[in-house]
Structure formats: structure tokens, C-alpha cells
């Protein structure tokens, strides 16, 4: 878990995918939370992606997405 969730609060989430360094970084409300290597079993460098899966863990929550 990156941080504790508060009900009825808006969050700005940024996920930065760095293909040169093979890392994903997560920012919540413009504050860096976590950076980790891509989870892949490939020996070769991952050059691009063609799908993004985003899901919420809270029942009946509402998510809005832009700039994807």
C-alpha cells in the first residue's frame, strides 16, 4: 500500500512510465510515493506498452481518467 485512503477525498494520481530506466513511478497529489522496476520476465528491454489496466479497490467508488 502506498498510503492510507480517505473516503470522500479527491486524489490526483500520476503514473510515470520511464522506458529508458524500465521504471514506473507513482505520485499522489504531486508527492512521489514509490518507484519500482517494471514487473516483467523479459531479458530484453521493454520498449513500449499497448495496454494499461487501472482498477479501484473500494466498492462503489468513482474514478475519472484524463490524459491517458
Among 3, 52, 46, residue whose Cα is nearest residue 27: 3
Question: Is residue 59 assigned to a domain?
Answer: yes
- Partnered with residue 25 across adjacent β-strands are 16, 35
Mean pLDDT by 10 residues, the chain (68 residues): 78 87 91 86 76 73 74
| Predicted pLDDT of residue 1 | 59
- Rounded to two decimals, the pTM is 0.66
Residue 17: burial class (beta carbons within 10 Å; 0-12, 13-18, 19+): middle
CA triple 31-19-10, angle to 5 deg: 30
Q: What residues make up the domain containing 48?
A: 6-68
Question: Is residue 1 assigned to a domain?
Answer: no
Task: Report how many domains make up the chain.
Answer: 1
| Predicted pLDDT of residue 30 | 94
Q: In which region does residue 65 sit, left (phi positive, over 0), alpha (psi from -120 to 50) or beta (all else)?
A: beta
Amino acid at each position: 500500500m502506498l498510503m492510507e485512503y480517505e473516503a470522500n477525498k479527491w486524489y490526483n494520481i500520476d503514473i510515470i512510465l520511464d522506458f529508458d530506466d524500465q521504471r514506473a513511478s507513482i505520485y499522489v497529489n504531486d508527492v512521489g510515493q514509490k518507484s519500482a522496476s517494471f514487473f516483467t520476465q523479459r531479458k530484453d528491454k521493454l520498449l513500449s506498452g499497448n495496454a494499461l489496466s487501472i482498477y479501484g479497490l473500494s466498492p462503489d467508488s468513482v474514478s475519472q481518467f484524463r490524459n491517458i
